[in-house]
Amino acid sequence: MLEEAWRPQGRDDLIFRKTGDEWLLYDPASDDIHVLNLTAALVWSFCTGEQDVDEIAAEVAKAFDTEGTEADIQEIIDEFQAAGLFFDE
Amino acid sequence: MSSGDSATIRSTRVDFSCGNAHLAAALPSERAAAWLNTLLPEHRTSATLEPTEMQPHSAVDFSIEQTSEGWFVLDHGLLPAVRGPIGEGQAWGVLERALADRLALGLVSSLEPAVLVHAGGVAADGGAVLIAGVSGSGKSSLVTAFASTSFSVLGDDAVVLTTDGRVHPFHRPFKLHEGARRQLGLARPASEAVGAGADPWLYQPEELGSKWSDPAPLRDVIFARREPGTDARLTEELPAVGTRLLLDLGLGPVDRTHALSRIIDGTQGARFWALRFDRCDLAREVVAGQLGLEV
């Protein structure tokens, strides 16, 4: 049986705000502030637990009207995960 | 600037009480109230100092009344020990050092759309320039250097930033250490006459040739750092970096999630800068030149 693809979901206690040309993601648990560029901010906005990584990559590619971004999107999501910004699987 | 909720701090009443026989003897309640009102003239302030037999460390209560919502007791603190009779000037100094920040912190904590920022500030051309930095970074000296020209002042060490992007003055005497006083060529302040001017010296803006500013829209935030022997150098910072720095320097509210949101709202559209400097007069010229300020 195929395992269902992971659907990353951002923790709902994080503060996600735009400032200048960048976005801040504040983690009150660790007091860390993550600075996101436009691509990372867009990826984060899709991390709602409703789409898997491939689907998020497709959404981002569509938004930027480009292709071949899967590896970049995976890297961004890996960084979010390493920072503990998602709900546990 | 963003269009967040506007602050309504003019309707606030501050009540202050403490029980300490020595303080009460030196500074009767009506004088304490008058003194508090010089700090926060936009607020109706009253004070009660009871001559009791309490311990030298005496409890302090702050109460804040917002007309639409009733009374709030916001803080309970301790004054420094006052173990013997003191003069009125010393009593002012004790209160000023112990209470001013706590009072302001209590105020901004009670007001949803505001944050107390650890920064000095000057205003000109209809806009406010904040000079932020850790203690000893030269904030007061730099603000004083601007105050001696055409700028009005918002504070030397703390100002209130509201989420509508306006900076409100924090009416507290400027503190300048002896070295800064000499570098700026200032006479000893009048407050020395009542004993409150021990190093650091306490100056009112008028003694610096300036005046308190009205609330002004924020236009620039400068993070100052004094580096002996360096030329003054001003470089732009990313808003994200500046926001983080302001948060780390923040005095209140304590809840950093709220503080961050308020800082982001209050600084929308503002520019952030890093300043390395040694001499205040040169730093003032560089800042004014790069920011297009008339001094």
Nearest to A19 among B240, B256, B257 (CB): B240
- Greater pLDDT, B19 or A44: A44
pLDDT in tens, B238-283: 888 899 899 888 765 556 787 888 899 999 999 999 999 999 889 9
Residue B160: count other Cβ atoms within 10 Å of its Cβ: 28
> What is the reported pLDDT for B194?
36
- Greater pLDDT, B1 or A75: A75
Nearest to A28 among B241, B257, B264 (CB): B257
> Is residue B257 within 8 angstroms of chain A, CB to CB?
yes
Least confident of B115-124, B130-139, B174-183, B193-202: B193-202
Residue A75: pLDDT over 90? yes
Report CB contact under 8 Å: B268, A19: yes
Average pLDDT over residues B218-227: 95
- Greater pLDDT, B205 or B21: B205
> Is residue B210 within 8 angstroms of chain A, CB to CB?
no
Report CB contact under 8 Å: A19, B256: no
In 3D, which of B295, B280, B289 has the Cα closest to residue B131? B280
Report CB contact under 8 Å: A26, B260: yes
For residue B259, the distance in angstroms to the closest alpha carbon of chain A comes to 11
> What is the reported pLDDT for B183?
78
Q: What percent of chain B stands above pLDDT 70? A: 59
Burial zone of B195 (CB within 10 Å; 0-12 exposed, 13-18 middle, 19+ buried): middle
> Is residue A22 within 8 angstroms of chain B, CB to CB?
yes
CA B157 to chain CA centroid, nearest Å: 4
Select the highest-mean-pLDDT range: A79-83, B86-90, B204-208.
A79-83
pLDDT in tens, B7-37: 333 344 555 666 666 667 777 777 777 766 6
Residue where the block lists tokens 């209140």: B252
Residue B56: pLDDT over 70? no
> What is the reported pLDDT for A8?
96
> What is the reported pLDDT for B50?
62
pTM of the model as a whole: 0.70
ipTM value: 0.72
Q: Give the list of residues 6+ apart from residue A55 with CB closer than 8 angstroms, or none.
A: none
Residue B72 identity (one-letter amino acid): F
